[in-house]
Structure 1
Amino acid sequence: MSDTLTETLPILFQDEHLVAINKPTALLVHRSEIDRHETRFALQLVRDQIGQRVYPLHRLDKPTSGVLLFALSPEIAKAMGEQFTTNQIRKQYIAVVRGYAPENGIIDHALKEELDKYTDKKARLNNPPKEAVTHFQRLATVELDVEIERYPQSRYSLVQCQPQTGRKHQIRRHMKHISHPIIGDAKHGKGVHNRYFKQHLDAGRLLLHASQLTFNHPVNGEGITLNAPIDDTLRQLFQRFNWLHSLPKEWQ
């Protein structure tokens, strides 16, 4: 008998057509050339956990946590795919960003496709930028008495983001575009802030979480809203910043 324990993931919703999990950070959705050494994938873990094949309906970046939805048949995958393609799915994210973000706003900034040298090597290099729109709202702020860059204090915001389109790294790139990059974003953020959060605040992950997904059930048309609670890393950070009360109870 093997002494290794089978890893299980938190299931947020399951019926005969769909299953949704709360994906932890640092977990790939499926096998990728980007992380050829990786052996853990949400797709295989969910399949083994529920004992049947699953079909991914959307993606979350490896470091992003939160709601991840799978279909349980090709027919349901096709029906749900149409909702995703026509932007009928409502997604809500929360993120910790550098600086005091505006109270609310709409980022309407077209994005060129970010190509990966492994997975996108057959993609065209000269595609024009595609429409990308993100709505955001500031939920809370904090000022730390620590000099990280040129100011004696350092400011951060908790923001809620609703992407209207689904471009690759859209929220990460849009928040950088308005000069409020997400903490922990190695590609689009600032290393000095990322290191401070990792070394002094026990928050060494990308501080982006897919907190809510709303859609119509593909069989009965019922409106469904799935909420994913934050993980321990985010919870201890939000407690430290006195931010927990700024979140709906379902996300805490």
Structure 2
Amino acid sequence: MKKVVLVLLMLCTCQLMWAHAIWIETQPVGQKNKAQEVKVFFGEYADKDITPAAQWFSDLKNFKIVAIAPDGSSTTLATAMASDHYKTSFTPTQDGVYTISLEHPVKDLYHGTKLYYFSSATVKVGSGDKGNAPTANKNLLSLLHKDAASVKKGGEVKVRALFEGKPAKHKEIKVFAPNGWSKTLWANEAGEVSFIPLWEGKYQVEIAHTDNTAKEENGNKIEKTFNAATYMLFVTE
């Protein structure tokens, strides 16, 4: 009986950790030659449960975050710790859409599972649309809304998901509203889902993929790899 209880507790703990995510917040519209603030959070967005930056587990704070310019050039951004997030900034110098991309394979295994976190955001500068493509983001798993700079309450939102650079067909994608409402969607053949935001505020879109291939890394036996990617949408009136 004790073993059964222990197993159930471990399963609940694993699910709780997997429910946590890392995400980027930055305004979807920027200005040329003006610093653009970027914040990185970790926690459970739907429950408004944000983990203090000093308490992030393992080596999660060593994530890599880059700003990809409309012309495809990229710059690695340095970060600093704040109370409940890490902060950084970049200064756009081109018209078009900048992609902010984050990736991090967590050093320590979680009950035999390798955790790999991804996140991204887009910033539109000026009136051009150069750089506004899913393939600008080279992460294994990614999400993109091509009109992120003008998401309105009550209007249809289309988000495209990529896995290994190709449409993430039939993948489960979750949407979390700022008031705790959530919805599970399934991507079509093009890797797209759509929904209508009913409230203003920040919406988190999340996709996950579990690779059940067993392998060994640095002497540790990995039973599976859990990949999760997030994308934030700023919905206005």
TM superposition score category, shorter chain reference: under 0.3
Q: TM-score under structure 2 normalisation?
A: 0.27
Which protein is richer in strand relative to its size? Answer: 2
Structure 1 or 2: more helix by fraction: 1
TM score, norm. by length of structure 1 = 0.26
